[in-house]
Amino acid sequence: MLVTDLDGTLLEGEREERRRFYAWLASRRDQVLHVFSTGRSLESIAEVLEQDEPTGLHPPHLVIGDVGCTVACGRSLEPLPLALEPIEARWQGLQERLEPLLQGQPGLTLQPRATNRRLAYLVDVEVFDRGLIARLEAAGADCVLSGDRYFDVLPPGVNKGSTLLALLEWLELDGRQVVTAGDSLNDLAMFETGLAGVMVGNAEPDLVAALPRLPMVYRARAQGCAGIAEGLAHFGYGHLLP
């Protein structure tokens, strides 16, 4: 199983590098179970697949979206209810408790797209009150500030890593055959699972700073798709690559 973030990871790199990597994914579809793991909503993922059609990006087998708060079929992008029930239960009633704390906070702009089981903001870090994070966590939420641009308020214990582990258990897959790849702080939870990970060469500095405590994560030199391929070779899958 190859689990890839989108922005800065699978969607990053020279056009020809991406075209070559996407063609490889398509050719190995029966051997490599591909999962998108992204902060994007399902609507936004659908747009990515449509826009990147000229480079040959195919739908994955499965999608983890909304920073771990959504699980869907990759081809139809239809949510998978059984996988979502535990996440829904953690979100139930939480938004109502959090909204008074978030209302009028400087530096936060609610993202225009509808999201599910989370609150997603664009953030201006110059004026953002970082003390808000502790207040939200005391109210029962988890928070992720990534790329100095995105601020996500999530159900407790829900993130890209927790949802991936639940998916592996649901599918009865061996974690030793999983490689994850990412570039931003919302990928940190994936890397903290203990699964093999590839931190691509263009990873944000705050994620790179966590590398010493992530023994199963390989720091690629190459960026984006080329970095994913470099990491796959490092973890012994070079024979599958073109």
Domains by residue range for the chain, with CATH:
2-86+158-240 (3.40.50.1000), 88-154 (3.90.1070.10)
> What residues are paired with 21 via a beta bridge?
none
pLDDT number for residue 84:
95
Helix (H) or strand (E) holding 241: none
Euclidean distance between CA atoms 161 and 194, whole angstroms: 10
Check residue 52 and give its pLDDT.
Answer: 74
pLDDT lower than 50: segments of the chain: none
Residue 79 DSSP one-character state: B
Cβ neighbours of 138 (radius 10 Å): 9
The answer to whether the CB of 203 falls within 8 A of the CB of 5 is no
Separation between Cα atoms, residue 106 and residue 98, nearest integer Å: 16
Those residues with Cβ within 8 angstroms of residue 83's Cβ, 6 or more apart along the chain or in another chain: 71, 163, 166, 167, 170
Tell me the per-residue pLDDT of 32-45, one tens digit each, with 9 for 90 and over. Answer: 999 999 999 999 99
Mean pLDDT for the chain overall: 95
| Predicted pLDDT of residue 124 | 97
Secondary structure of residue 168 in the 3-state scheme? helix
* Angle at which helices 94-102 and 81-91 cross, to 10°: 50
Q: 10 Å Cβ neighbour count for 104?
A: 7
This prediction has a pTM of 0.95
- The residues, ordered by sequence, that sit 6+ positions from 146 with a Cβ below 8 Å of its Cβ are 39, 152, 184, 185, 186, 204
Predicted local confidence at residue 143, as pLDDT: 97
pLDDT at 242: 77
What is the distance between the alpha carbons of residues 169 and 103, in angstroms, rounded to a whole number?
38
Residue 162's pLDDT is what?
98
Task: Output the six-digit token pair for 222.
Answer: 């190459």
pLDDT of 115 reads 78
Q: In 3D, which of 234, 111, 233, 227 has the Cα closest to residue 242? A: 233
